[in-house]
């Protein structure tokens, strides 16, 4: 059993050493779904849309941090050296949507800092929403 596990581990390590290198880069945002207000005291989910992610790049991820009285979104994705091949470049600009989970906030107004765009005002008040999702072209929710 141990030799089987060792062989699988060696095979996995060999498969990863294919000459492709990857870097995690900040993903600028084109849009942020913001409701009139978010509900206080609970984690909220906002959807954000990439400004222009490259074809064949990794799916974006989002983390939200509360520091110094403001909420900062950290949106990033992996860009690998094989993403510059013609097939990937032909995909053009990707505008993928990703969920950002915000920490529970107390009632009040906060600055929302987003990568590659202007800061926005984030209002947290009683009766506010727990989430904000973009509306799809067909009128549904994405």
Residues 6+ apart with CB under 8 A from 73: 29, 32, 48, 62, 63, 64, 100, 112, 113, 114, 115
Residue 3 has a pLDDT of: 46
pLDDT over threshold 50, residue 60: yes
| Range in 3-12, 37-46, 68-77, 121-130 with the lowest mean pLDDT | 3-12
Query: Which is more confidently placed, 139 or 19?
Result: 19
Q: Are 99 and 32 in contact (CB under 8 A)?
A: no
User: How far apart (Å, rounded) are the C-alpha atoms in residues 133 and 31?
Assistant: 11
Handedness of CA 90, 92, 97, 103 (dihedral sign): positive
Q: Dump pLDDT digits (tens) for 80-127.
A: 888 778 888 888 888 999 999 999 999 999 999 999 999 999 999 999
């Amino acid at each position: 059993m141990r030799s089987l596990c060792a062989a699988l581990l060696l095979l996995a390590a060999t498969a990863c050493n294919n000459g492709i290198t990857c870097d995690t880069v900040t993903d600028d945002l084109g849009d942020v779904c913001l409701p009139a207000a978010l509900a206080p005291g609970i984690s909220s989910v906002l959807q954000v849309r990439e400004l222009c992610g490259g074809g064949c790049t990794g799916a974006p991820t989002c983390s939200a941090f509360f520091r110094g009285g403001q909420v900062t979104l950290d949106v990033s994705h992996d860009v690998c050296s094989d993403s510059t091949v013609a097939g990937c470049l032909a995909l053009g600009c990707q505008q993928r949507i990703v969920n950002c989970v915000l920490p529970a906030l107390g009632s009040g107004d906060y600055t929302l800092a987003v990568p590659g765009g202007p800061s926005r005002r984030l209002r947290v008040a009683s009766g506010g929403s727990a989430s904000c999702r973009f509306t799809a072209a067909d009128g549904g929710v994405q």
